[in-house]
Chain A
Amino acid sequence: MTPQRLLLFSAARQLFAFNLQEVCEVMEPQQCYPFAGVPPHYLGLINFHGNLTALVDLASYLGLQSRPLPGKLLVIDTRLAHLALKVDAVGSILDAGSITGASSHDDPLTEALLETPQGSVRLIRLEALLSGLEQELQGSVPNDAKPGGT
C-alpha cells in the first residue's frame, strides 16, 4: 500500500522515499561518537533530543558507493526506533496523487518501485530495514579474543 505522503531523498545517486510519517526530523550533520563492535556502516551515535540514536550510512549499508558529501540526517520517528540515516540530499515531499506508476520489487527492503515526476523512486519498507539491521547485529557474535597488548 502506498502512503499518502512520501519524503524523497537521494543516496549514491539513487532516489529513495520513506513514508513521511516514519520520519520525525531532517537534520544537518552533527557531532557523532564512534561506537565499539558494530559493522562499518554505523557511523556512531548522535544525541537526538536526549535519545542516543544510531547513525547509519544508508548507501554503505545497501552496498552502494557512498559519496563524500556532508549530506543530511534523516531521523526515524523515535517511537519506532532510535535510528538516523545519513543520506546525500533530501528532496521534496511527494503527494501520492502525483505517482504515475508502481511496480513491485524483488528486494525485501523495497516496498515498491514508484514512477514519479522526479523519476523512478525506491520506497523503503522501514520494518524490513530495522529487522535487517537487527539480524546483522545478532549475527556478529563477539570474537573469541586472544590475549592482547603485544
Chain B
Amino acid sequence: MALKVMIVDDSLFMRKMLRDILVEEGYEIADEASDGVEAVAKYKECLPDLVTLDIVMPNKTGIEALQEIMAYDAGARVVMCSAIGQEALTTAATVAGAKAFILKPFNPELVLRVLREVAQG
C-alpha cells in the first residue's frame, strides 16, 4: 500500500513541487499544511506515515510544531526541510525528534532517497 505523506510548507510553490515529486514516485499525499498550527491539527486528523516539515513558518515554527507532533505521537516520522542559512536549527530539530533533513532547493533524487530511508526505519 502506498505510504501517506503530509507536506508542510508556507509556500504553495514549494508544496506543489514536493507533491509532484512524491506523487510521481507513488506516494499518497495525506494532506498539506501551510503553518505550524495547521500542521499539528492536521497531523492529528490524518496520522500520516511521513511528514515533511518546513522550519521557517508563521504561527509556530517548524521546531515548535515538531515538538507538539512528537508529544502527541512519539512514533511520528518527521523529515525537516530547511534552506541554506538555517543549519543552526538542525541540532534543535534532532533533539526534538526529527528523523532526517532535506535541504532546499529540493533535489528530487535526494528527497526520495531520504524519505525511503526514513520509511524503512
Report A-B touching, CB under 8 Å.
Answer: no
Q: Which residues of A contact B (CB under 8 A)?
A: none
Q: Which residues of B contact A (CB under 8 A)?
A: none
